[in-house]
Amino acid sequence: MSQSVQVVFCTDGVYPQLVGGIQKHTRLLVEELARTKEISIAVIHQHHGQNVFDASLNITEIGIKRNKHSSNYLLNEYYYSKQVYEALKQFPDAIIYAQGMAVWHNIDEIGSRVILNPHGLEFYQALSVSDKLKAIPFKFVFGYLFSKAAKVVSLGGRLTQLLRSNIKNHNNKIVVLPNAINLPAQKFERTSFDQRPLKILFVGRFAANKGIHVLMDAAAQLNNGGYKNELEFHLVGKGPLFEHFSTTVKEQNVVFHGFADDDKLNSLYKDCDVFVLPTLFEGMPTVVLEAMSYSLPIVVTDTGATTVMVDSLNGYIIEKSDVKSLKDAISMYFVLNEQAKKRMAEQSYSRVKEKFTWPVIAQQHLELFQQMAEQKT
């Protein structure tokens, strides 16, 4: 691909200057694409006066001095998109990669150049009545953006189904581009598959949507069913429900680690035997990919793009809010022989290596950019 193809990434921020999934995705994808030297890249962000990327990558940066206009989140996003639109005038022929709502103002003028990545589609997956009411304006805004963008990115799985059911004339508009991770610098060789107690790892925010209550109920039932000395549950993360669970759960084999830095988390990935995420709704959780990169079998809910990562070869897909489904999955894994556990572990690692690393996903993006560039000529 010629560097005459220019792509402008529009985002509200870049990790670690701004912390979040979209911001981390922006940094890792942009850096990987820049290393290929196959396209010209610009990034419009809100870090005014800062160069957030290494100069050796030759990334053009435009840092907008963002002004807060309102206490209303959506209004602020719209006003920021007006500033982004003005900055985009410098790139009249570029392909525009829009993260979230960064490209909104006058999208009807430039939509033929826009690839829109809405990420996790949380507004389509709200659970409570109050959250569903809060999601209505987001559905309206994204419905409009979807109708104007040339391409809309899905992370895959049920998220693709959600987009198809909410975008009119979606044929050829939806493109599947999954999340990705960087593999550990050195592959971890898992040698023991039959240690006791079996160590079960959860990593995530202590919030209702992550299904902590499901995991704790399953742990209690397994302990009462004779597994108390056979299982250990290790929970990593903080959040609004951390205090409640860490003070009320009295099971001796449940360990609350709280926040874990990278070194501690990597140590837990190595030390534990199986990863669980009984989440109620998701996009495509990179924590699952990270666990897979340490050759961990996965137990996860069928939501978002989880089935893109996990199937019966490397884990178990469970039902939402279903304690029995989670308990049964853990029990089934527990009684597997060592060879079967080893095969699951190997499947997890090989799958993430083949399908979900940044070089692989960056190449898929390059192919999309090439396709759009050819359509313009």
- Chain centroid to Cα 216, Å, comes to 24
In whole angstroms, what is the distance from residue 124 CA to residue 136 CA?
Answer: 9
Distance, CA of 84 to CA of 80 (rounded, Å): 6
Instruction: Enter the pTM of the model.
Output: 0.93
Rounded Cα gap, residues 20 and 238, in angstroms: 15
**Regarding beta strands 60-63 and 40-45, do their DSSP bridges make them parallel or antiparallel, or are they unpaired?**
parallel
Kind of pairing, strands 40-45 and 114-117?
unpaired
Q: Is the peptide bond before 297 cis (omega within 30 degrees of 0)?
A: no
Does domain 6-180+357-376 fall into CATH 3.40.50.2000?
yes
Common-topology check for domains 6-180+357-376 and 198-354: yes
Q: Could you tell me the residue ranges of all domains in the chain? A: 6-180+357-376, 198-354
Which pLDDT score is estimated for 80?
Answer: 96
CA-to-CA separations, 238 to 150, 202, 205, 284, 312, in angstroms, rounded: 39, 12, 6, 20, 30
The domain 198-354: what is its CATH number?
3.40.50.2000
Output the pLDDT for position 3.
58
pLDDT of 69? 78
| Distance (Å, whole) CA 216 – CA 210 | 12
Residue by residue, pLDDT tens for the chain (377 residues) are 555 799 999 999 999 999 888 999 999 999 999 999 999 999 999 999 999 999 999 999 999 999 877 889 999 999 999 999 999 999 999 999 999 999 999 999 999 999 999 998 999 998 889 999 999 999 999 999 999 999 999 999 999 999 999 998 888 999 999 999 999 999 999 888 888 999 999 999 999 999 999 999 999 999 999 999 999 999 999 999 999 999 999 889 999 999 999 999 999 999 999 999 999 999 999 999 999 999 999 999 999 999 999 999 999 999 999 999 999 999 999 999 999 999 999 999 999 999 999 999 999 999 999 999 988 76
- Residue 290 has φ and ψ, to the nearest 5°, of -60, -45
Q: Token pair 């963008």 is at which residue?
A: 149
Ramachandran class of 169: left when φ > 0, alpha when ψ lies in -120 to 50, beta otherwise: left
Q: Which helix (H) or strand (E) holds 267?
A: helix 262-271
First to last CA, the chain: 14
Is there a contact between 314 and 298 (Cβ–Cβ < 8 Å)?
yes
Cα dihedral: 334, 337, 340, 345 (round 10): 50
The edge-to-edge listing of strands for the beta sheet with 315-318 is 254-258, 231-236, 198-203, 274-277, 298-301, 315-318
* 215, 236 Cβ separation under 8 angstroms: no
Nearest to 364 by CA among 53, 83, 97, 65: 97
Among 87, 100, 174, 97, smallest CA distance to 141 is for 100
**What is the reported pLDDT for 127?**
84
Alpha carbon distance 182, 352 (integer Å) = 10
In this structure, what token pair is assigned to residue 284? 């495509």
Could you tell me if 117 and 156 are in contact, meaning their C-beta atoms sit under 8 angstroms apart?
no
